[in-house]
A = this chain, B = another copy of it.
């Protein structure tokens, strides 16, 4: 399988002050035409580090893409370091300098500063990868053994532009060819533990012939990602579809979506299909559920809104929660959640209502109700179901999981109607 390595250059990355999104973007682009990234490395902006990382990458795969270190400032050493590694002196490229001058004149109405001349000092015998989005040109260097390095700037917009317009076709012709594309299909599950999945999956636990299966646990649940790396596009689509269908039938109800579809989209579609509108009453989530639902364009046709009843007075005043139930059972109780769900419906005229009340922490725990205790009620036209659940994680995760669980509860109930 054709492979290359990605080396991202810059002290900021090693200091953790910048998160490298270029490497991930490049990996996805390369995968789409069947080129694997064998390894990724981030190195400091010193000639020694760059040369050492490049050398070992070339020894392993013979093909490397670098990002970063092509700017005009003194700490940009990528070019001289790699030119040295390939034994190529740098020359002043008149044509590229003209390109930069035009760019400055059109954008800033001035001549570029002298310092930019450093950006057009290019290794002899290189292929220039024209940068239509900024000043630093990309550079492709190849040695007599056919091993090559492509240098791209670190600015994402420029890096992406040069890759798509100039480098991608070259990489494809050299490595891509008819290599099978990397295709993935994700099956999203929630309300089931990662370690409980293999039992349900049975012999599909490791994937299917030609397809690998990855378990991706997160706040939303456990995603199951099938990846095809060896099939032709058509074979891949068929195999992924068949695999996803098998997984879905074996895992059952916990499967709520495919791809990157959010639970909110699933719930909104289910409401739409059944002609029901939703309102929410949120205590510990404080608006997070409403925010997730309204993050989806077009949600307004089935989501009416609701009440953020963070204070008990609001629970009583706007949702009809009784002071007695607050006093006797506490704000975090199924009875209060039920009253909240019903109150949300009453105040908005919605057919479906959700009530969430819980202890997100770090404070607020009681001997009987630890941090993470969440009560959720779903009211569909007066039929109310309520649960008490323990959410794992910190405050943010508990809140997110509570909103996710509430939507999942509504999803499962709507599926039965």
A387 at the binding interface (Cβ < 8 Å):
no
B37, B71, B107, B392: the one within 8 Å of A194 (CB):
B71
User: Is the beta-carbon distance between A14 and B42 smaller than 8 angstroms?
Assistant: no
Given contacts A72-B195, A74-B205, 18 further A-B contacts (CB under 8 A): A13-B40, A14-B38, A15-B182, A16-B23, A16-B29, A18-B216, A39-B44, A40-B41, A73-B198, A75-B215, A113-B196, A115-B195, A288-B291, A295-B395, A304-B313, A305-B314, A307-B307, A313-B348
> Cα distance A353–B49 when bound, in Å?
51
Q: Which of A138-146, A170-178, A278-286, A374-382 is near enough to bind chain B? A: A278-286
B198, B291, B298, B395: the one within 8 Å of A287 (CB):
B291
User: Is the beta-carbon distance between A73 and B116 smaller than 8 angstroms?
Assistant: no
On whether A310 and B303 interact (CB within 8 A), knowing A14-B40, A17-B225, A194-B71, the answer reads: yes
Chain A to chain B contacts (Cβ below 8 Å), 27 pairs: A13-B27, A15-B28, A16-B29, A16-B31, A23-B42, A38-B44, A39-B42, A41-B42, A56-B56, A72-B194, A73-B215, A74-B206, A75-B212, A75-B213, A113-B199, A282-B287, A286-B287, A286-B291, A286-B305, A287-B287, A287-B290, A287-B293, A291-B291, A294-B308, A295-B399, A305-B309, A318-B318
Q: For residue A212, which residues in chain B have a CB less than 8 angstroms away from its CB?
A: 11, 75
Q: Which of A212, A290, A349, A363 has the most CB of B within 10 A?
A: A290
> Cα distance A46–B92 when bound, in Å?
45
A21-34 vs B, CB cutoff 8 Å, 1 = contact: the mask equals: 10111111101000
Which of A383-400 touch B at CB < 8 Å?
390, 392-397, 399
A193 at the binding interface (Cβ < 8 Å):
yes
Q: For residue A184, which residues in chain B have a CB less than 8 angstroms away from its CB?
A: 15, 17
> Cα distance A265–B159 when bound, in Å?
31
User: Is the beta-carbon distance between B28 and A24 smaller than 8 angstroms?
Assistant: no
User: Is the beta-carbon distance between B308 and A287 smaller than 8 angstroms?
Assistant: yes
Q: For residue A115, which residues in chain B have a CB less than 8 angstroms away from its CB?
A: 195, 198
Interface size in chain A (residues, C-beta < 8 A): 107
B20, B25, B305, B308: the one within 8 Å of A280 (CB):
B308
How many copies of this chain are found per oligomer?
Answer: 2
A84 at the binding interface (Cβ < 8 Å):
no
On whether A14 and B43 interact (CB within 8 A), knowing A72-B195, A347-B318, the answer reads: no
> Cα distance A206–B217 when bound, in Å?
43
Q: For residue A44, which residues in chain B have a CB less than 8 angstroms away from its CB?
A: 38-39
> Cα distance A310–B37 when bound, in Å?
44
A317 at the binding interface (Cβ < 8 Å):
yes
Q: For residue A165, which residues in chain B have a CB less than 8 angstroms away from its CB?
A: none
A189 at the binding interface (Cβ < 8 Å):
no
> Cα distance A71–B215 when bound, in Å?
9
User: Is the beta-carbon distance between B12 and A16 smaller than 8 angstroms?
Assistant: no
User: Is the beta-carbon distance between B294 and A287 smaller than 8 angstroms?
Assistant: yes
Query: Measured between C-beta atoms, what is the minimum distance from A348 to chain B in Å?
Result: 6
> Cα distance A257–B267 when bound, in Å?
38
A227 at the binding interface (Cβ < 8 Å):
yes
- 3 nearest A-B pairs in the assembled complex, by CB-CB distance: A286-B294, A287-B290, A16-B27
User: Is the beta-carbon distance between A297 and B361 smaller than 8 angstroms?
Assistant: yes
Q: For residue A225, which residues in chain B have a CB less than 8 angstroms away from its CB?
A: 12, 17
Q: For residue A286, which residues in chain B have a CB less than 8 angstroms away from its CB?
A: 287, 290-291, 293-295, 299, 303, 305
User: Is the beta-carbon distance between B14 and A39 smaller than 8 angstroms?
Assistant: yes
B196, B214, B362: the one within 8 Å of A11 (CB):
B214
Query: Measured between C-beta atoms, what is the minimum distance from A129 to chain B in Å?
Result: 19
A274 at the binding interface (Cβ < 8 Å):
no
A155 at the binding interface (Cβ < 8 Å):
yes
